[in-house]
Amino acid sequence: MKITNYFAVVTGCIVTMALGQPALAEIEEVNLRLAHVVNENDGFHAAATKFQELVAERSDGRITVEVFPNATLGDERTLLEGMQIGTIDMGVITNGPVSNFLEDIAVFEMPFLFPSAEKAYEVLDGPIGQELLDRLAEVNLKGLAYAERGFRNLTNSERAINTPADLEGLKVRVMENPVYIDTFRELGANAIPMAWTEALTAMQQGTIDGQENPVGVVHSFQLNETQTNMTMTRHTYAPAIIVMSLSVWNDLSEEAQDIVTQVAQEAAEYERQLNADLESKQLEELRAAGMTVIDDADLSAFSKAVAPVYDKYGQRFGDYLPRIQDALK
C-alpha cells in the first residue's frame, strides 16, 4: 500500500468515528409508528416516507418507522390524544388541530399574515417557531419540525368566488380552529368546523358547499369531482408539525434524539420543496379536469373583510403576533 493511501484510509477511519459510528452502536433498536390522515399522493406522506428513509439510514437501521396513512389510526385530534398518552408514537399533523392543545400556535394561521412561503419559513425555522415547538412539551407532545400544509385556497360546488360578497350563504368546511371559523364568518360564509375525514363525505353528499385547502390537497383528493370552482385566495399559510409523543421521545437515547430531530427538519424541508415544485403542474391538471380556477379575485377586499379577526385575536396569543409582524418587516 502506498503511504498516501495508507494515510487516506486511516484518516477515513478517524472521520467515520468522529461522525458517530461508535455512538450508533449504543442506540437501542426501536420501531416508531408514524400516522397521518391523508392519502399516499399527499405531501404529508412524502414527508413521512422521507423521514422513514433517512432515519433508518442515519441510525444504521436501528430506528425503523412504520407509516400509517389515510387516517387508519384516527383523525388528527385522535392522533394527538394518542401521542399524549403514548399509544401513538408520532405523526405529521396540520397546525390547526394542534392549536386545540396549544392555543398560541394558532398565531401562524392568522389570515393574510405571511406574504410568501419564504417569509413563513424564516419565522417557523427561527426563534419564534422553535419556542412554540418547545412549548408543546406543556401538553405532553414533542414538536420536531414544521412541514407544511401550505397556502390555503377556497373551493366550492356552487359558483365562482371573486369577492367576499360571493361567499354569502355558502356552507364552507373549516378546520376545528377558532381562527378559521371566525375568518370565514367575517367573509360571509356559513363556516362549519369538522374533521377532514367527515368533510370528504359531506362534499360527496352535498351537505356542505365548499372547503379551503392548498392546491396539493385539492389535487391529491381529486376534489374537482365535487368542487367545480377554486379561488386562489391564499388566505392563510398553514404549517404542519412533525410531532412525537413526549413519553416516546424521552425513552430515546440522546443519540437517537439527535438523529430524529435532524431528520425531521430535513423531511420537512423536502416536503416544502416538493409542494413548490408540483403546484403549477397540479393546477394545470385540475383545469384540464374541468375545474374553474380563479386567480384574479379581489384579495384586497378579502383582506379588509377579515380585519375584525385581528381585533379579536391580536392580544390572544400573548406577544407572538407583534413579534411575527416585526420579524416580517
Domains and CATH numbers, the chain: 28-327 (3.40.190.170)
Please give the DSSP secondary-structure letter assigned to residue 209.
-
The CA distance from 88 to 260, in Å, is: 16
Please give the DSSP secondary-structure letter assigned to residue 187.
T
- In this structure, what C-alpha cell is assigned to residue 204? 360527496
The CA distance from 210 to 230, in Å, is: 9
Please give the DSSP secondary-structure letter assigned to residue 227.
-
- Residues 60-79, mean pLDDT to the nearest whole number: 96
Q: How confident is the model at residue 200 (pLDDT cuts 50, 70, 90)?
A: very high
The CA distance from 157 to 223, in Å, is: 10
pTM: 0.85
Q: What type of residue is 7?
A: F
pLDDT at residue 25, rounded to an integer: 67
The CA distance from 238 to 92, in Å, is: 13
The CA distance from 85 to 199, in Å, is: 27
Q: Are 236 and 111 contacting, i.e. CB atoms less than 8 angstroms apart?
A: yes
- Residues 29-47, mean pLDDT to the nearest whole number: 95
The CA distance from 101 to 105, in Å, is: 9
Structure confidence by residue, pLDDT tens digits, 249-303: 999 999 999 999 999 999 999 999 999 999 999 999 999 999 999 999 999 999 9
